[in-house]
Chain A
Amino acid sequence: MDTFVTETVSILTNTAMLFVVSAGLTLVFGALRLINMAHGSLFMIGALIAASLASALGGAWGFSVAVLAATAGAAALGAGVEVSLLRRLHQREPLAQLLATFALVLVFADLAQRVWGSSDRSVTAPVAGRFHLAGATVPEYNLIVIGIAGLVALGLWLLLACTATGWRVRAAVEDPESLAVGGTNLPLLRTSVFALGAALAGLAGAAIAPLESVGPGLDTQIIVAAFIVTVAGGLGSVLGAALGALVIATVESLGTLWVPAYASSAPYLVMILVLAVRPWGLFGIPER
């Protein structure tokens, strides 16, 4: 029973983290038809901002400020990139955009190393408490991470399903001309969505900082995981990202438990199996 609880909490924590990162990626794809390879870089920069601020300020409040700063920093960086660079490529073929964001991965990797150095950092969690549940010890901080993901999911659902802005975001791909004729400022909408996606990457990076060591290499590591989740779940679908995150986190945890030698390959196998059956992912829409 205690193993079961420990595993469940660890799966849910991983799901939460993967979901927040992937939601940002999938949101940007949904509105801009753009796969942002630099999403992982924004995640890493968020984690690094949070790590340096949290250790400078100290305490639970310091950590909260650090998380907010990381989210805002990533959003600002994302908006800057969109306005200065990606906007110019919007009319071009998908390859150009993919390559531009790939170039950003390289640029951000070296810039981050310049600013934060190449050594790994560790962050102490703002709450050190643990509680006992059915014989297992559960760190309180994991629940905070799960809570953050829940809030993000709720917020995104409210935004996309219940507000006029959300409808515009979804229409931005379907029929941008009519939307522009209707008086929507499309460039502003695209920049905002991209900034929101970047903010989610930064938030996820900051939230995960106390659970993992933060340093170079985090960017390519997380972007591959986020790709698996979003592609298996269906690009552009937030629900798909949630389900994909759950599936991948479960496969990874159970894999570590049962077949440790192949645990790290299992998520890729799942993604390949899903795509072999449904090439556009679980909740994606077939490309025309």
Chain B
Amino acid sequence: MTVLDETHSTPAPALAVLGRAVRRGTLIRAASVLVVLAVLAAAPYVVNVTVVFTLEEIAAFSVFAVATNLLVGQAGLVSFGQGVFFGLGAYTVTLGWEHAHWSFWTGFALAPVLGAAAAVPVGLVALRARTLYFALISLAFSQLCYQLVEQNTGFTGGANGVFAAVVPTWMENPVNGYLTLLGIAVAALAVLRWIYASNFGMLLRASRENRARVQALGTSVYRLHLLAFTISGAFCALAGAMLVIYNQGSNAELFDWTTSGQAVITSVIGGMYTFLGPVVGAFVYQFGHDNLVRYVPDWQLVLGAVLLLAVLARPDGLAGAVRLHRRQAGNTSDAELNSAAEGPGATSE
């Protein structure tokens, strides 16, 4: 179709491509991404240091949430166990430094590899279970790892975790640390975006909508989900390693099921049927948390209420709300096509 279009429309193909790009909003989208990135890169020179630390946290949690959402929103696999890989990534860096005298970047590079390697056996077992059973068995893995890390005080530092001068000194400066994290986050999200848009991403969404049909078409859904679980594990571990730059260490809490739950909450509040929804959620969550905790003691109460509201009124989250608004304002059919591809079908009966 694209080939025919090009020969027909205008004599100058380059102009035609540009014109179509403008019409379809691709250019506008690309431009807005660049503007947002420029603002984020300039931010540490403008805002105060507390905000920079919050932004560091957001960079790590964005990757964690989008990687978790590959399972939750795309494949329909509600995992309460991604904290396993998040924690594993962080501990790879800190324990590698402490016990094996790895440099920070060695541990950092190994974290996603170990995350993927750990995700295979966990996925092999957990994915045998479906829906709610899967949610609970992944939760059990999370708690198992939490207990193991907390009990083996000699190796892991127990509940206190490992806090040491792991991070290279030049990155202890918040601006440097933040800019590094921003770069890694953008690169990781670009790869994840590519995965979302690939045929594999399409198959994942299809398996969420109609598992039996995907199976009937000749795709092993178990293997498909295992691959998604492995990819998610790798990126969750990367996010965990990123958090070490912010935290200057790692603690057992990262493995707790409430940490896994946080990634799910973030995705749902931000919008689990859009790629950037979880990132939006991470911004709302971290800024909400950091600003509210100072004034309101009942942070969990607020979070719970917001989550309830999202579940009741907006299952597609904040990003979904924005998209719907745009569509109602009379956007091109492109947006509708997109949301038809990514959004939920009629919510199951």
Contacts and interface: CB of A to CB of B under 8 A. Distances in A.
A120 interface: no
Contact of B305 (A102, A103, A287): A103
B137 interface: yes
Contacts of A85: 308, 312
Interface string A83-107: 0010011011111101110111111
Contacts of B72: 95
A76 interface: no
A53 interface: no
A271 B147 CA distance: 14
B310 to A, nearest CB: 8
A228 B311 CA distance: 26
Nearest to A227: B136
Interface in B81-125: 125
A100 B312 contact: yes
Contacts of B308: 85, 100, 103-104, 107
B300 interface: yes
Given A103-B308, A106-B300, A107-B304, A98 B135 contact: yes
Contacts of B144: 265, 268-269, 272
A274 B25 CA distance: 52
B186 interface: no
B148 A231 contact: no
Interface stretch (B225-233, B257-265, B319-327): B257-265
Contact of B136 (A91, A100, A231, A262): A231
Given A93-B347, A268-B147, A103 B130 contact: no
B140 interface: yes
Given A93-B347, A96-B315, A269-B144, A106 B307 contact: yes
Contacts of B69: none
Nearest to A266: B147
Contacts of A268: 140-141, 143-144, 147
B136 A99 contact: no
B307 A99 contact: yes
Interface string A250-266: 00000000000110110
Interface in B281-319: 298-301, 303-305, 307-308, 311-312, 315
Contact of B258 (A91, A104, A220): A220
A224 interface: yes
Contacts of B133: 231, 235, 275, 279-281, 287
Nearest to A92: B347
A60 interface: no
Contact of B151 (A110, A264, A275): A264
B78 interface: yes
A157 B142 CA distance: 34
A74 to B, nearest CB: 18
Contacts of B298: 110, 113-114
Nearest to A91: B349
Interface string A6-45: 0000000000000000000000000000010000000000
A267 to B, nearest CB: 9
Contacts of A114: 298
A164 interface: no
A96 B308 CA distance: 9
A105 B258 CA distance: 11
A128 interface: no
A173 interface: no
B245 interface: no
B128 A275 contact: yes
Contacts of A275: 125, 128-129, 133, 137, 140
A110 B135 contact: no
B220 interface: no
A276 B128 contact: yes
A139 to B, nearest CB: 28
Contact of B141 (A99, A103, A264, A272): A272
A208 to B, nearest CB: 20
Interface of A: 35, 85, 88-89, 91-96, 98-100, 102-107, 109-111, 113-114, 220, 224, 227-228, 231, 235, 261-262, 264-265, 268-269, 271-272, 275-276, 279-281, 287
Interface of B: 72, 76, 78, 125, 128-133, 135-137, 139-141, 143-144, 147-148, 150-152, 257-258, 261, 264-265, 268, 298-301, 303-305, 307-308, 311-312, 315, 347-349
Given A224-B143, A280-B133, 17 more contacts: A89-B312, A92-B347, A94-B132, A95-B72, A96-B347, A98-B132, A98-B135, A103-B303, A110-B300, A265-B148, A268-B140, A272-B125, A272-B140, A275-B125, A276-B125, A279-B128, A279-B130
14 contacts: A35-B132, A89-B311, A96-B315, A100-B312, A103-B303, A103-B304, A103-B308, A235-B133, A268-B141, A268-B147, A272-B137, A275-B129, A275-B133, A279-B129
